[in-house]
Amino acid sequence: MTFTYGLAVAVGGAMGALARAGIGAVLPPAAGFPFATFSVNVLGSLAIGVCWAATSRWQIDPIVTAFLMTGLLGGFTTFSTFSLDSLQLLMDGHYATALAYMLLSVTVCIAGTAIGIWLMRFVA
């Protein structure tokens, strides 16, 4: 890994983490459902679909790809937080909320990735 590649990942990761924190600050949990984590994962899944489709279609510099996909989106999405939120809901006895959260997160995030790829088919 070159210094430039590592720097791109690090800067992207910091920016993604700050964006995630910002969304967390404006979308507090409501009715015990972790909306911020859910929203970040859906948006991140859509964005990674768009990025993947773009890098598959066009010659995009690997450093730009590393910045966007590994750095920015890696710092932005929160699968580890999703896992912790799910476990905490289960441990607190909120089984229906936990199940809804897990099923919706996985289903909608996969759909978001597919939609991102599909949307890129309409770009020149």
pLDDT of 1 reads 86
Query: CA-to-CA distance for 56 and 43, rounded, in angstroms?
Result: 20
What is the extent of the structural domain holding 48?
3-120
Q: Give residues with Cβ within 8 angstroms of 92, minimum separation 6.
A: none
Number of domains making up the chain: 1
The 10s digit of each residue's pLDDT in 40-81 is: 999 999 999 999 999 989 999 999 999 999 999 999 998 888
Q: pLDDT of 86-104, one tens digit each?
A: 999 999 999 999 999 999 9
